[in-house]
Chains A and B, each alone.
Chain A
Amino acid sequence: MRTIEELKAIKAQYEQKAADQEKKGAPSILVHMGTCGIANGANDVYNSILEELKSNNINNVVVTQTGCPGLCHDEPLVTVSIPGETPYIYGRITADNARQIVKQHLVGKQPIGEWLVNKDDKANILKFEELNYIKYQKRIVLKNCGRIDPEKIDEYIAQDGYFALAKVLTEMTPLDVINTIKKSGLRGRGGGGFPTGMKWEFAYNSKGNQKYVVCNADEGDPGAFMDRSVLEGDPFSVIEAMTIAGYAIGANQGYIYVRAEYPIAVERLKTTIKLARERELLGKNIFNSGFDFELDIRLGAGAFVCGEETALLTSVEGKRGEPRPRPPFPAVEGLWGKPTIINNVETYANIAQIILKGSEWFSAMGTEKSKGTKVFALAGKIKNTGLIEIPMGTTVRTIIYDIGGGIPGGKAFKAAQTGGPSGGCIPAEHFDLPIDYDNLTAIGSMMGSGGFIVMDEETCMVDIARFFLEFTQEESCGKCPPCRIGTKRMLETLTRITEGKGKPEDLANLETLSVTIRNASLCGLGQTSPNPVLSTMRFFMNEYEAHIFEKDCPAGVCKAFQVYAILVDKCIGCGLCARNCPVKAISGKAKEPYVIDTDKCIKCGACVEKCKFGAAVVKKESGR
């Protein structure tokens, strides 16, 4: 690619093709094939649509593989667009459903209302943007996800792709680029929220003839998949942004560090890097500017700590992924000791649009110190799980009720966990908290990379803290004792508490350990690892106290406090429970009430599940 005119020609050509398709009245079909869709059978859906079109001799339909549009709870999704009509979005489609859609909708011109996701109560078809799940969102990072074929560079260009790079290389100096990013107020989306423009400026100012641009795609928080979706749905946006970053800081080599557990993302990156090279959007003399940039992929082997920037760099260098002390900061001494910037996938996905639309456009969104949007992976006890992108400042309430559709089963909301194992919980009392970096930090949580796990009244907060500690403990790199041994001691204490063996002094010890680990650990993983404990102790101390002093788990989760029993008045003596008990803890005579030997009982729940008469029950040792 040598000139911006070439880009414009590609865009015009693509638009013409779409207009022709429209004019012909030819339908098009999008099959959403992110990992989430494929895991739910999207490959079969895609193939059966192709087969069915073929057997019905339909040749004018364009079928496109695209990424995830975010509605993970309705995967696999198929969007059918017919010129002049609002697109039909079908959800939870099987291969058979897909054949039926071809037959009934495309051939028979009859949409199948029952499988449609985008209809309101009165069966009106809604536009994608009008869906409750979508209408509170603002899609910048995800704008192309689920809409374009991620592996077709022309489709990306048709969505103004690479226009930002063209502008940067032909009209802007590196400092112009850095100033634009600085003014936009963009902060790192990987967790810490460090101002991106400032990071680039440090690297720009660092002396050295070799510099590097690195993309952190080692997304590791449990339940978080924002970066994966972007890489699967819109990989060119990251490649373009890294090239821009390279120009800004004076680097001509980039590395994308992506975890090997994301095979589809890796494949799409490989394909798209190759395509960008073919179009000379990577390589020598891009846009005739004299600027060269190359990009390579490095696979992570699944260590959580490699998401920490210095550990990531160590891993890229081919060593065991362990963090190193800062200073020196990567912007001064990074990869192989050279000035390096590391940004997360989502951060990069914002760059091209900031360049094209200007820093004012971006900084108009969000709160005072947190600009733009944030992508969250909505998970846990919530109806609509999936990927959402909200303007900074959106409240927890909007996320849970307006977007998420509330808690299933009419249960009460207890808390939401953000920031994964490094974050904390937002309790119901902070329901109207506008979400941004500083507000989350102020209540002891953090933005993190975008995990958003909803917990209802049946979640035990001590158990949750224990879960996260177990995760960080296993993922500690072992380099520094506060993290390696401190989190182990905390985990042991929490385990003891959930097992009913908590001691009064455990609370003080947890606090002492938390403070030591936070102050003394080497890297962010260690420093933030006590957060889930501190946060749950702050808002749910009553649950800790109940476990320790009353020997009770108020949420009814911790097995140590449960006693299984068979109700004499309900048991008919069928013996089904005894036959299903894996440890033979239940005995009795036929047609007489059975009994459970509580010493043998392992509280697996098999008896409760099997009993048809509601006779086997969990009895609390000490009731609420």
Chain B
Amino acid sequence: MEMINLTIDGQKVQVPEGTTVLEAARKAGIDIPTLCYLKDINKIGACRVCLVEIEKTRGLQPSCTYPVSEGMHVKTNTPLIREARKAVVELILSNHPMECLTCNRNRNCELQALSKQLGITDIRFQGENTTFPMDFSSAAVERIPDKCILCRRCVAVCGKAQGIGILGATERGFKSIVAPAFHRPLAEVNCVLCGQCINVCPVGALREKSHVQKVWDAIANPDKVVFVQTAPAVRAALGEEFGLPIGTIVTKKMVAAIRRLGIDKVFDTDFTADLTIMEEGSELVQRIKNGGKLPLITSCSPGWVKYCEHHAPEFLENMSTAKSPQQMFGALVKTYGAEKYGIDPARIFSVSVMPCTAKKFEAERPEMKASGFTDVDAVLTTRELASMIKEAGIDFAALPDEEYDDPMGMSTGAGLIFGVTGGVMEAALRTVYELVTGEHLEKIDFVAVRGLKGVKEATIELPPVGTVRVAVAHGLGNAKKLLDKVKAGEQYHFIEIMACPGGCINGGGQPIVSSAERMRLQEDYRAMRAKAIYQEDKGMIMRKSHENPAIIKIYEEFLLKPLGEKSHHLLHTHYQPRVKYRALANQEECKE
């Protein structure tokens, strides 16, 4: 690649061709302030904050989109630039509800940080503010459009990374706003509630529907016994909320913290992840042996499930009927768990802590009442759990290590890696190989399905069955690419799809990594979280789901066998095609 020489603020810099001025400046140790820019996601030059002076060009130029060229002279800090940046941010603030103190992004807001960075103490321009109705319609994602600064990161992540495009700019002039088409509520459009938009929003215009109060109420209710399950990816990111470096595993402190909130029992979703492998793996073997519908596609990501229902209903028959680990846990905690602890299931309040927003929708699906009760009563995101720990004044870093409660707290490395793209596939292969071949699997790291490549493929020899082709996609944009391949005739036996880019470690409920931090990090934060999970897996004694003694036991004393009668009732579900717009649904209802 050709190298380009340029001068930034008097410093000579050499960077590869195609580098932007913003990136080149960073190399020279200059952090040009940005707002709409988000590395790898949004590069549109819209917010006019990263403006610089480039010799021989008119006016000021956005450094985030401007490519470097040989001999270029750039200035990043002149009176003209400082005034323009300030004035632009003042204008944005002049149409922003100044509710910082009560905003859920208080002290975690990029606009707030930018205002401080630029030394804004006064807003010269005042006037009318735009007002739009808030949208609390969906089960998981809430929109507060008045806080929207039209940076369009959500538009980019929803449209490009996820390939859905629910959000887009609408209206004109001062009234321009980012919204679903025709201002339809999120519940009435084909939003899959993955929450990626929340993770990229620099301000408080998007957030999850909070279940925090529901959980506090249940804890305070003497008639309720509160059982918590924590998903694999939560432990790999929760620490970030308490200042720990990205990629720190905090499982045991997390368990301790949850107990200190007043929770009765803390269990691990990894346990039902192991159970999912038993059920889903058996389903795969059965479908291959009996000529069932292939490829079998995983069903643990509720964002993916909803996507499939809206956008690819032709694949619903391919979807594994096995419930997600969250819902298996929910169904078991009020049956098996109630029996074990001798508690009336009506008294159990089941809470899940998830890296995910779509799990809130999944828990509310009407079919998720296998126990005879609502299987999962409340779903907290990683961020919500952190906020509760903070509210309770718990010194997270100083907590002792504590263990999960038995028996539903016992799990394997296979269950743990469910939190990363490729993890479900790897876990399934570890078990299916041994179940099918009856041989001991020596090399259990399936590295071909690891990593952040959009679509990953591998072939595995399963002697009695033959060659098995598998594929993994993460991010719904990649999922679509993979499904298109299948439609075009590509043959696979087993496919893993996770809705979020990187898998659950980058779920819509995880701690937010700001634009500045994403730029500062040498490595992709998703890879850092993933690495921590794989490290943890490596150190575990049990790394195959079928070796989990608690799993063996639950089959012995409760479920009897995978895909059996009880499993069918408690652990399997069904799906339904969904239209893209509610208006269409209404029309169909009218026809009926």
Least CB distance from B70 to A in Å reads 14
- Write the B42-86 contact mask toward A (1 if CB under 8 angstroms, else 0): 001111100100000001111001110000000000001001100
Question: Which of B62, B84, B91, B168 touches A489 (beta carbons < 8 Å)?
Answer: B91
B95 interface contact, C-beta 8 A:
yes
CB distance B66 to A327 under 8 Å?
Answer: yes
CB proximity to B under 8 Å, residues A491-538: 492, 509, 512-513, 515-516, 518-522, 527
CB distance B174 to A473 under 8 Å?
Answer: yes
B173 interface contact, C-beta 8 A:
yes
The interface-forming segment of B120-128, B215-223, B542-550 is B120-128
CB distance A481 to B45 under 8 Å?
Answer: no
Instruction: Output the nearest chain A residue to B62 by Cβ-Cβ distance.
Output: A325
> With A480-B46, A481-B48 as given contacts, are A474 and B173 in contact (CB-CB < 8 Å)?
yes
CB distance B44 to A488 under 8 Å?
Answer: no
A481 to B59, CA, bound (A): 16
Question: How many chain B residues have a CB neighbour from A under 8 Å?
Answer: 38
Q: Which residues of chain A come closer than 8 Å to B60, judged between CB atoms?
A: 519-520
> With A492-B128, A519-B60, A522-B45 as given contacts, are A478 and B173 in contact (CB-CB < 8 Å)?
yes
Question: How many chain A residues have a CB neighbour from B under 8 Å?
Answer: 35
CB distance B48 to A484 under 8 Å?
Answer: no
Q: Which of A489, A518, A520, A522 has the most CB of B within 10 A?
A: A520
B176 interface contact, C-beta 8 A:
yes
Instruction: Output the nearest chain A residue to B171 by Cβ-Cβ distance.
Output: A478
Question: Which of B44, B92, B127 touches A481 (beta carbons < 8 Å)?
Answer: B92
A474 to B171, CA, bound (A): 10
A475 interface contact, C-beta 8 A:
yes
> With A478-B173, A519-B59 as given contacts, are A325 and B84 in contact (CB-CB < 8 Å)?
no
Q: Which residues of chain B come closer than 8 Å to A516, judged between CB atoms?
A: 83-84, 87-88, 91
CB distance A484 to B84 under 8 Å?
Answer: no
CB distance A485 to B174 under 8 Å?
Answer: yes
Q: Which residues of chain B come closer than 8 Å to A519, judged between CB atoms?
A: 51, 59-60, 80, 84
A488 to B87, CA, bound (A): 14
Least CB distance from A37 to B in Å reads 32
A476 to B172, CA, bound (A): 6
Question: Which of A473, A478, A512 touches B87 (beta carbons < 8 Å)?
Answer: A512
A477 interface contact, C-beta 8 A:
yes
Q: Which residues of chain A come closer than 8 Å to B176, judged between CB atoms?
A: 476-479, 484
CB distance A509 to B125 under 8 Å?
Answer: yes
Question: Which of B44, B61, B91, B177 touches A486 (beta carbons < 8 Å)?
Answer: B91
Question: Which of A473, A479, A489 touches B150 (beta carbons < 8 Å)?
Answer: A479
> With A303-B172, A478-B169, A478-B173 as given contacts, are A489 and B48 in contact (CB-CB < 8 Å)?
no
A320 interface contact, C-beta 8 A:
yes
CB distance A484 to B173 under 8 Å?
Answer: yes
A219 interface contact, C-beta 8 A:
no
B94 interface contact, C-beta 8 A:
yes
A521 to B88, CA, bound (A): 9
Q: Which residues of chain A come closer than 8 Å to B80, judged between CB atoms?
A: 519
CB proximity to A under 8 Å, residues B109-139: 124-128
A482 interface contact, C-beta 8 A:
yes
Question: Which of B45, B92, B172, B177 touches A324 (beta carbons < 8 Å)?
Answer: B45
Q: Which residues of chain A come closer than 8 Å to B149, judged between CB atoms?
A: 481
Q: Which residues of chain B come closer than 8 Å to A477, judged between CB atoms?
A: 169, 172, 176
Q: Which residues of chain A come closer than 8 Å to B177, judged between CB atoms?
A: 478
- Write the B82-104 contact mask toward A (1 if CB under 8 angstroms, else 0): 01100110011011000000000
Query: Which secondary structure characterizes the binding site on chain A?
Result: helix
Q: Which residues of chain A come closer than 8 Å to B48, judged between CB atoms?
A: 480-482, 520-522
Q: Which residues of chain A come closer than 8 Å to B94, judged between CB atoms?
A: 485, 489
Q: Which residues of chain B come closer than 8 Å to A473, judged between CB atoms?
A: 173-174
A322 interface contact, C-beta 8 A:
yes
CB distance B46 to A479 under 8 Å?
Answer: yes
CB distance B127 to A488 under 8 Å?
Answer: yes
CB distance B128 to A509 under 8 Å?
Answer: no
A252 to B591, CA, bound (A): 49
Q: Which residues of chain A come closer than 8 Å to B83, judged between CB atoms?
A: 515-516
> With A488-B174, A489-B127 as given contacts, are A479 and B169 in contact (CB-CB < 8 Å)?
yes
Least CB distance from A496 to B in Å reads 9
- Write the B317-361 contact mask toward A (1 if CB under 8 angstroms, else 0): 000000000000000000000000000000000000000000000
Question: Which of A482, A485, A518, A527 touches B95 (beta carbons < 8 Å)?
Answer: A485
Least CB distance from B372 to A in Å reads 50
A328 to B94, CA, bound (A): 32
Question: Which of B65, B127, B128 touches A325 (beta carbons < 8 Å)?
Answer: B65
CB distance A476 to B173 under 8 Å?
Answer: yes
Least CB distance from A478 to B in Å reads 2
Q: Which residues of chain B come closer than 8 Å to A325, judged between CB atoms?
A: 44-45, 61-62, 65-66
CB distance B124 to A512 under 8 Å?
Answer: yes
Q: Which residues of chain A come closer than 8 Å to B61, judged between CB atoms?
A: 325
A473 to B127, CA, bound (A): 14
CB distance A478 to B91 under 8 Å?
Answer: no
A482 to B80, CA, bound (A): 15
Least CB distance from A178 to B in Å reads 24
Instruction: Output the nearest chain A residue to B69 by Cβ-Cβ distance.
Output: A327
CB distance B171 to A509 under 8 Å?
Answer: no
> With A485-B92, A485-B94 as given contacts, are A478 and B45 in contact (CB-CB < 8 Å)?
no
Q: Which of A320, A488, A522 has the most CB of B within 10 A?
A: A488
Least CB distance from B312 to A in Å reads 23
CB distance A527 to B59 under 8 Å?
Answer: yes
CB distance B124 to A509 under 8 Å?
Answer: yes
Least CB distance from B541 to A in Å reads 53
> With A320-B169, A325-B62, A478-B150 as given contacts, are A488 and B51 in contact (CB-CB < 8 Å)?
no
Instruction: Output the nearest chain A residue to B43 by Cβ-Cβ distance.
Output: A325
> With A325-B62, A485-B94, A521-B48 as given contacts, are A478 and B172 in contact (CB-CB < 8 Å)?
yes
A527 to B67, CA, bound (A): 21
CB proximity to B under 8 Å, residues A435-486: 473-482, 484-486
Least CB distance from B83 to A in Å reads 7
A419 to B95, CA, bound (A): 30
A binding-site residues for B, Cβ under 8 Å: 303, 320, 322, 324-325, 327-328, 473-482, 484-489, 492, 509, 512-513, 515-516, 518-522, 527
The 10 A-B pairs at the shortest CB distance, nearest first, are namely A478-B176, A325-B45, A516-B87, A488-B174, A485-B91, A492-B127, A489-B125, A325-B65, A476-B173, A520-B84
- 23 A-B pairs within 8 Å (CB atoms) are namely A324-B44, A473-B174, A474-B173, A477-B172, A478-B175, A479-B169, A481-B48, A481-B88, A481-B92, A481-B149, A482-B87, A484-B150, A484-B173, A485-B91, A485-B174, A488-B128, A489-B91, A489-B94, A492-B127, A512-B87, A520-B59, A521-B48, A522-B46
**Extra 12 A-B pairs, beta carbons < 8 Å, given A303-B172, A513-B125:** A322-B169, A324-B44, A325-B61, A327-B67, A475-B172, A478-B174, A478-B177, A480-B48, A482-B48, A509-B124, A516-B88, A522-B62
